[in-house]
Structure 1
Amino acid sequence: MNTPAPGTGALAEKILRGVGGPENVESLTHCATRLRFQLHDGDKVDKAALDALGDVMGTVAQSGDRFQIVIGGAVSRVYSEIMNLPSMSGGGTAKPKSDADVKAEMRAKSRGRYAVVDNFFEYLSDSFRPLMGVLLGSSLIIAIASVLDALGFVDFRAADKSATWVFVDAMWRSVLYFLPIFVAYNAAKKLKIDPWVGAAVMAAVMTPNFTGMLNKDSGIPGITCTTNGTLGTQECVAHVFGLPMQLNDYGGQVFVPLLMVALLALVYKGLQRIFPEAVHMVFVPFFSMLIMIPITAFLIGPMGIWAGNGLGEGLSWLNGNAPIVFAIMIPLIYPFLVPLGLHWPLNALMLVNINTLGYDFIQGPMGAWNFACFGATAGVLLLSVRHREKEMRQTATGALAAGLFGGISEPSLYGIHLRFKRIYPRMLVGCLVGGVLVGVLGGVDTKAFAFTSLLTIPVFSPTGTYVIAITAAFFTSMALVYFSDFRTPEDRAAANAERDAAEAAERGEDAPADERELVSVGATAGSAGSATGSVSTVKATASGAGAGVELAAPVAGRVVGLDEVGDPVFASRALGEGVGIEPADGHVVAPVAGELVTVVDTGHAFGIRTADDIEVLVHVGIDTVQMAGNGFDVRVKTGQKVSVGDLLVEVDLDAVRAAEHPTVTLMTVTNTADLASVEPHIGQDVALGAPVVTVRR
C-alpha cells in the first residue's frame, strides 16, 4: 500500500484527500499564492480538514464547484507535488459526458463556415426531437395493431370496422394527424417566440371548418373541385375575399409548419418592436394570427405541400429507377445524419410519402441502419460481459433494449458509438450488408410511420425480405465489433487494469494507480486468484496440459514468491501469477519474445504479448512510478518486437533506493486465468535469462 512521504509529499496527499480525492478533481492550476481547483462536486470538500493543515493559510469556496486553497510562496512547489502524485498523472479527470454533451460535441464538429446552414439543421432537429416519445408510442400502437391484423383477429383495411377498432385507429392517428401543430409549437419555441401562437396558426387550417371545404358536396358556395386524371386525386379551390385559395388536408404535413414558423418569427419579433411592452400580451399574438393565418392558407400551405411532394417524387424516382443504389444509400448516410440531427428532413419525407402515396419506401432501407446500430451495441454488451465492465454493461443493456423494442438509436449513438471510434467502420459494414439485401431482394415498403424495432416488423412488406436484411445487418455489426473489440489494445489494457483495481478495492485491497494501465487484453486473473492467493494452485489439475513455455528471468538475482514482495495487489494475483526477483543489478531484459504492448512513460513497467497470446508484465520496483522516470533509461518503445534477452531498460538501483522504494522486480502472467497453469520457480538465485516461470496452455 502506498505510504505518504514526509514533507510536501504528505501535504499534497492530504490536500488531494481534502478536496474529495483525485476522482473529484477536474483540473488544477495555481497563481502566485493559491491553488485553484475545478471540482466535479464541490460538496465533497472537507473544508475543516484543509483549514487544519499547518501549511494551508486559508480556503475559499467559489461558485461553479471551484475551490481555492491559499498556500503562500510555496504554492508552486505544492502544486508540483500534487501533480506528481500517481493518481494525478492525468492532470485530473474529465467530467463524465452525458448523451447531450456528446451530441453537442458532434454538432460543434459539424459546424462549417456558414452559420445559416448550421442553424437551419438545428431548427429542424429541435422542432422534431421533443416528439420522439409520442411518435414512438404511436408506432408501437401501429405495431400491435399490425400483429393483430397479421394473426387474423381483425382486418384493419376493412371499410366496416367496428367502433372499437376505429377508436384504436384514432389512438395512433392522433399523433400523425396533428403532427403539424406539434411541430409548429416546437419550432416557435426554438425561435424564441410564443409557441402557442405557432400552434394556433397551424391549427386554423386543420379545423373542421377548414377541412370541411375539401368536400365538394359540402354545400359551401365558392368552392370548385377538379379531379387529377393521372393521380386520381381531387383538388379543390375556394374563393376567399375574392381570391383563389388552394385547399389541402394538412394532417401529417411537416414542411408547412416549418416554413410558417420561420416567417411567423419575423412577424412576431417585428410586432414586439412596434408595440409597447405593456400591451405585448394582447396585440402581438392578435396581429400575428391576423397576418399569418391568411398567409399560411393562401401561400405557405400550398408551397409546403409542393415542396414535400417534389422531394418525395425525387426520391421515389431514384427508388424506382435505381432501387439498389437507393437501398444502399439510405442506411449508409443515416449513421452520419442522426448524430447531427440532420435526419429529420428524411423522416419528414416519410410522412409526406404516406400522406401522398399511401406508403413509404424509405423506412425499409433505414431499418438496415438501425439494426446495424443495435448489432454494434450488442457486440459491446457481449464484450462488457466478457471483460466484467459493469458501467458499460449497464449502458449497453439499456441502449440495446431501447433500440430493439423502441427503435431508438440515440442511446446507442450518444452513449457508446460516438465515444469509441472503432465502432463506426464496423457498423457501416452492417449497414452496407443490410442495404444490399434490401435492394437485391426488391425493396421494402410500409403503409405506416413506424420506428424500426422488433415490435414493428409486421408493418413492413414484404416482411420476409425485411427480416433477412435487418438480421444480416444486426449480426454482421455485432460480430465485427465483438471479434475486433470496440477499444484499441492500449485502451483495453487500461480498462481491464482499472477494472482489476476496482475489484481489488472491493475486496479490501489497495491497487496502486500505476498498475491500472498495465494489464492487457484478457487480464482476468484477479478474480481467479484472489480466493486462494495462488492461481497456480487453482490450475494445478491442468498442469500437465500442453508443453510448457519457459519465461526467463528479466534480471539476475534472488527469486521470491509474490506473497513476499510487499505489495498487496501483486500478492493477491490481481495482476496474474508470477515471481519477484531481488535484482543484483539494473540490467532489465525481455523474459520472452513478443510484442511490447505497453511501455509506460516512466520506464518502470513493460507489457509483452507473445505470438501464442501469453501476456507478461515486467514491473521494476514498488511504487517507482512516483520517480517520474528518474533513474530509468528506457531502450524500447510500444509496438516494438523483442526477443528473449533484449534490453528493456537500464535502472539506477541506487536512485530507486534513495527514493525509498523497494527494488524488487516483478514478472507476472496477466492472463493467467486463460491458461492451464502458471508455475513459478522460487527460492533460488538465478542468472539473467534463467527460466523462472513455466506456463502451460
Structure 2
Amino acid sequence: MADKYQNIGDGIYDHVGGPENVSKLIHCMTRVRMTIRDDSEVDIEGLKKVPGVLGVAQEDTLQVIVGPGVVNKVAQAMVDEVGVDLGEPFPDSAKKGTSYASGKSAVEAKAAEVHAAQKAKLKQTWWRAALKHISSIFIPLIPAFVGAGLISGIAGILANMQTAGDLGASWTTFITVLKVINGGLFTYLNIYVGINAAKEFKATPGLGGIIAGLIYLPGVIAPVTIPNIFTGSPLVAGSGGIIGVLFAVWVMSYVERLFHKYIPDSIDIIFVPFLTLLIVGCFTIFLVMPTAGWVSNSLVGSINWVLNVGGAFSGFMLGLFFLPMVMLGLHQILTPIHLEMIKSMGNTPLLPILAMAGAGQVGAAIALWIRCRKNKQLTGMIKGALPVGILGVGEPLIYGVSLPLGRPFITACVGGGIGGAVIGAIGGIGATSIGPSGMALIPLIDNGKWLGYVFGLLAAYAGGFLATYFFGVPKTAMLAHDANGNLIDDAIATESKEERATTADVDQIMTAAPIPGANTGLVAPVAGSLVQITEVKDDAFSQKMLGDGFAIEPTMEAIAAPADGTIISLTNTKHAFTLKTGTGLELLVHLGLDTVELGGVPFSFDIQPGQQVISGQQIGTMDLQQIKDAGKDTTVITVITNMDAVANVTEYYNGPVDVGAPVLQVRNK
C-alpha cells in the first residue's frame, strides 16, 4: 500500500503530464524542483489542489512546495518510481512504476553536484556563449577523431616497419586502405565542421557544408588561380581552415535569417539559398580565407615558437594552468587550434602537454587514498574515479574529489605542470588526433615518441602525488567518515565530549508537542536590513505558504541561530537548515533564493543534526559575493513552519538589524 509521500508524488505526476514529461527532478529544503519537457501538459491549478501541496512556483524549473521534512521523502518517492537518482536524467520512456538501474557511482553524483555549482558561479558572457558553441560543434566529432586518429597511428607504425624491411610489399595495399579511411575524416573535415556549425547556429546544414567546402577551392585547377586580394599572390586551397569555417558559417547564419525575414514565402526556397551562397561564398573566398589563413598560420607559428624557445618552462606553465582554463570554459577554444596544427604539421604538440593536467589529478588522488584511509566515502569515490582518470577522463576526479577539498586541486595542478615540463623538455612529442588523454593517448603519439609521453605521465603522477601527500591533504579529509560521509572519528576537533553529550535524539524532539501558551523570542540570524516577508521575491515565502516569519537582506556573512533549540536538519547543499525550539516551534532558515543550485559552495556550517544551539550563536557563514556573482538573491528568510501551534506573532518594521538582535515574539496556542 502506498504511503502518503508516494501519494503526494503520484498526485504531482498526475498534473505535470506524468514522469514521461519530466526530464530531471531535485529538491531543496521546501520544494520539489522539476525540469519539464512540455509546459503545455502541466495543470497548475490542479497541482495546487493535490493534498500535501502548499503552493506552486514557476521559474526555470517547476517548483512544487510541500514543506521541510516532507520534501525529501516526496522527491525520493518520485524518483524511486522511475528508477533514477535525484538529479539524474529521466529516461525518455519513463513511466510510474518502471524501474531503471541508475548505475551511477557516488563520485559521479558528487562530481555533477560540484560541477553544477562551479558552472553556476560563472557569469554568462558573450565569449562563454561562443565557447559553448565551439564545444557543441566539435563534441559530436570526437569519436571520429579518436577512431581516425588510431587508424592513422596504426598506418604510420606499419609504414615505418615496411620501410625498415620488417614488412613486405604485400602490406602496401592494407596500409593505403588505412590511410584512405583516415583521410575520410581529415581530408573533408572542413565540411563536417561546416554542417555542425550550421546546425549550432540555426542555419541550413547543407549550406554550411557548401560554404565550408569552398575553402578547398574546388574547381580551381592550375594554371587557373584566384588572387589573394591582400597580397596579390594566388590563394592557397585550405587557407583559413577550421577557424575560417567557423567564422564564415556564423556570418552565413545571419545572412540566411535576414533573407528568410524579407523574401516572400512563395519564392523563399529559390532565392534564399541562391543569394546566401552567392554573397557568403564571395565573402568567404575573398575576405575570410586570406584573413583566417593569416590568423591560423600566426597561431600555429606562435605556439611552436613558445614551445621551442620556452621548452620545459612553457610546458610547466601550460600543464599548470590548463585545469583552471577548463573550469572557466576557456579550453574549448583550443579545439580548432589543435586541428589547425594537425593540418599544417601532422600533429598537435599542445595536446600531450595539456594531457598532463589530468595525470596530476591521478597522482593527487593516489596520495589522498593513502593519507585518508579512514575516510570511507572519499576513498570509495577515488576507487570509482581512478580507473577512468588513468584512461584520460578527468572530470570525476576533478569535480568529485580534488576540487571539493580545495588544496588537492592546487597540488594536482602542480603535478600537471611537472609533467608538462618533462614533455616540453623532451620536445617534438605530438598527437595525430584529438580526443582522449592519459594512457589512452599513447597510440596517437606521432613519430614513435610515445616513450617520451609515458615519461611525462609518470612525472605528472609523481609530482601530483608528492605535492598532495606533503602539502595538499586537508586535516578534515583524514578524519574517519562512513560511506555516507558522516564523521565517526572520536578526534573531531569541532565537537568536544561535552558537545557530543548534548546531541539529542532528533526524532524524539520532532515528535514532541509544542508547549501550550509558551512564548518564544526570535532573533536575526544575519545582520542587514529587515524586510517584510510579503516582499520576498518568491511566492512560497511572500504568500506565507510555508508559514509566517521575517526576511533580512544581509550585509555580513556570519549566520547565527534564530532561537534556543536543537538543529533538526541541514541540507546537503547547505542553503537551509531547520531548528526546533524548546517551546515546540519549528523554524526554517533559508539562505538566499534558488541557492540550492550552487551546490553548497558559498556556505560553511559548524553544526550537525541533533546539536543544541543558543539564540544568537554563530553557526556558519555565507559568501555573499559568490551568491551575487552567480546571479542569485541573498535574502535570508526565517519561517515558522508549524503555524497550527501558533496563537499570534508580533509585528516588526523594516530597517537595519544586527545579527542576534530581537525581531519577533511568538506565543503558542
Which bracket does the TM-score occupy, shorter chain normalised?
Answer: 0.5 to 0.7
Compared with structure 1, are the counterparts of its residues 59 and 342 closer, same or farther at alpha carbon in structure 2 (3 Å cutoff)?
closer
Contact 2:53 2:64 in 1 (8 A): no
Are residue 250 (structure 1) and residue 238 (structure 2) matched? yes
Matches of 1:253 and 1:275 in 2, distance apart? 32
- Structure-2 residue corresponding to 1:341: 329
Are residue 363 (structure 1) and residue 358 (structure 2) matched? no
Q: How does 1:449-460 map to 2 (within 5 A)?
A: 449-450=433-434, 451-457=436-442, 459-460=445-446
Q: Pick from 273, 291, 294: which aligns with 2:261?
A: 273
Are residue 477 (structure 1) and residue 464 (structure 2) matched? yes
**Once the 2 structures are TM-superposed, how far is the Cα of residue 133 of structure 1 from its aligned partner?**
2.0
Matches of 1:151 and 1:309 in 2, distance apart? 33
- Structure-2 residue corresponding to 1:306: 294
- Structure-2 residue corresponding to 1:351: 339
- Structure-2 residue corresponding to 1:514: none
- Structure-2 residue corresponding to 1:206: 216
Contact 1:433 1:473 in 2 (8 A): yes
| Structure 1 residues not aligned, in runs of 5+ | 1-12, 30-35, 43-54, 70-78, 224-236, 500-516, 521-591, 607-617, 635-651, 656-662, 664-697
- Structure-1 residue corresponding to 2:411: 426
Q: Pick from 137, 148, 153: which aligns with 1:127?
A: 137
Deviations 1:153-207 (A, max 9, x none): 9889999971211110122232223222222222222222222211121123337
| Structure 2 residues not aligned, in runs of 5+ | 11-24, 38-49, 77-84, 89-108, 513-560, 568-580, 585-609, 611-669
Compared with structure 1, are the counterparts of its residues 518 and 314 closer, same or farther at alpha carbon in structure 2 (3 Å cutoff)?
closer
Deviations 1:335-393 (A, max 9, x none): 12234432233332233233334444323322322322444466678899985559955
- Structure-1 residue corresponding to 2:306: 318
Deviations 1:200-249 (A, max 9, x none): 21123337534xx2xxxx4x4x34xxxxxxxxxxxxx5599xx9684323
Matches of 1:207 and 1:280 in 2, distance apart? 28
Number of residue equivalences:
462
Q: Pick from 467, 472, 488: which aligns with 1:519?
A: 488
Deviations 1:453-498 (A, max 9, x none): 424425256443322221121243356667888887279656x162
Deviations 1:272-293 (A, max 9, x none): 2221245434322222112122
Matches of 1:371 and 1:57 in 2, distance apart? 50
Matches of 1:174 and 1:133 in 2, distance apart? 14
SS in 1 for 2:493: strand
**Once the 2 structures are TM-superposed, how far is the Cα of residue 100 of structure 1 from its aligned partner?**
7.5
Task: Report the AA paired with residue 172 of structure 1.
Answer: N
SS in 2 for 1:311: helix
**Once the 2 structures are TM-superposed, how far is the Cα of residue 141 of structure 1 from its aligned partner?**
2.6
Task: Report the AA paired with residue 445 of structure 1.
Answer: I
Compared with structure 1, are the counterparts of its residues 386 and 272 closer, same or farther at alpha carbon in structure 2 (3 Å cutoff)?
farther
Contact 2:364 2:464 in 1 (8 A): yes
Are residue 468 (structure 1) and residue 455 (structure 2) matched? yes
Q: Pick from 476, 481, 497: which aligns with 1:489?
A: 476
Are residue 186 (structure 1) and residue 186 (structure 2) matched? no
Contact 1:184 1:202 in 2 (8 A): yes
Task: Report the AA paired with residue 498 of structure 1.
Answer: N
SS in 2 for 1:250: coil
**Once the 2 structures are TM-superposed, how far is the Cα of residue 621 of structure 1 from its aligned partner?**
6.1
- Structure-2 residue corresponding to 1:443: 427
- Structure-1 residue corresponding to 2:596: none
SS in 2 for 1:209: coil
Matches of 1:321 and 1:627 in 2, distance apart? 72
- Structure-2 residue corresponding to 1:259: 247
Matches of 2:397 and 2:171 in 1, distance apart? 40
Matches of 2:167 and 2:137 in 1, distance apart? 32
Q: How does 1:566-645 map to 2 (within 5 A)?
A: 596-598=493-495, 605=500, 626=510
SS in 2 for 1:247: coil
Question: Which structure has the bigger radius of gyration?
Answer: 1
- Structure-1 residue corresponding to 2:27: 26
SS in 1 for 2:488: coil
Matches of 2:466 and 2:348 in 1, distance apart? 31
Matches of 2:164 and 2:57 in 1, distance apart? 65
Matches of 2:158 and 2:402 in 1, distance apart? 35
**Once the 2 structures are TM-superposed, how far is the Cα of residue 67 of structure 1 from its aligned partner?**
4.8
Matches of 1:81 and 1:456 in 2, distance apart? 49
Matches of 2:165 and 2:327 in 1, distance apart? 39
Compared with structure 1, are the counterparts of its residues 392 and 432 closer, same or farther at alpha carbon in structure 2 (3 Å cutoff)?
same
Compared with structure 1, are the counterparts of its residues 26 and 358 closer, same or farther at alpha carbon in structure 2 (3 Å cutoff)?
closer
Contact 1:149 1:155 in 2 (8 A): no
**Once the 2 structures are TM-superposed, how far is the Cα of residue 257 of structure 1 from its aligned partner?**
0.6
Matches of 2:472 and 2:509 in 1, distance apart? 29
Compared with structure 1, are the counterparts of its residues 372 and 182 closer, same or farther at alpha carbon in structure 2 (3 Å cutoff)?
farther
Matches of 2:130 and 2:72 in 1, distance apart? 48
SS in 2 for 1:605: helix
**Once the 2 structures are TM-superposed, how far is the Cα of residue 123 of structure 1 from its aligned partner?**
3.0
SS in 1 for 2:484: helix
**Once the 2 structures are TM-superposed, how far is the Cα of residue 146 of structure 1 from its aligned partner?**
5.0
Task: Report the AA paired with residue 255 of structure 1.
Answer: I
Contact 1:438 1:466 in 2 (8 A): yes
Matches of 2:409 and 2:274 in 1, distance apart? 50
Deviations 1:411-433 (A, max 9, x none): 55456555554442131121122
**Once the 2 structures are TM-superposed, how far is the Cα of residue 403 of structure 1 from its aligned partner?**
4.7
**Once the 2 structures are TM-superposed, how far is the Cα of residue 149 of structure 1 from its aligned partner?**
5.8
**Once the 2 structures are TM-superposed, how far is the Cα of residue 300 of structure 1 from its aligned partner?**
0.7
Are residue 117 (structure 1) and residue 86 (structure 2) matched? no
Compared with structure 1, are the counterparts of its residues 282 and 456 closer, same or farther at alpha carbon in structure 2 (3 Å cutoff)?
same
Aligned CA RMSD, in angstroms, stands at 5.2
Contact 1:125 1:341 in 2 (8 A): no
- Structure-2 residue corresponding to 1:642: none
Matches of 1:429 and 1:239 in 2, distance apart? 46
**Once the 2 structures are TM-superposed, how far is the Cα of residue 434 of structure 1 from its aligned partner?**
0.9
Task: Report the AA paired with residue 422 of structure 2.
Answer: L
Larger relative contact order (Cα-Cα within 8 Å, sequence gap ≥ 6): 2
**Once the 2 structures are TM-superposed, how far is the Cα of residue 135 of structure 1 from its aligned partner?**
1.6
SS in 2 for 1:446: coil
- Structure-1 residue corresponding to 2:613: none
Matches of 2:432 and 2:241 in 1, distance apart? 14
Compared with structure 1, are the counterparts of its residues 471 and 248 closer, same or farther at alpha carbon in structure 2 (3 Å cutoff)?
same
**Once the 2 structures are TM-superposed, how far is the Cα of residue 296 of structure 1 from its aligned partner?**
1.4
Task: Report the AA paired with residue 289 of structure 1.
Answer: L
Contact 2:322 2:354 in 1 (8 A): yes
Q: Pick from 146, 168, 189: which aligns with 1:136?
A: 146
SS in 1 for 2:287: helix
Q: What TM-score comes out, normalization by structure 1 length?
A: 0.54
- Structure-1 residue corresponding to 2:317: 329
Q: What TM-score comes out, normalization by structure 2 length?
A: 0.56
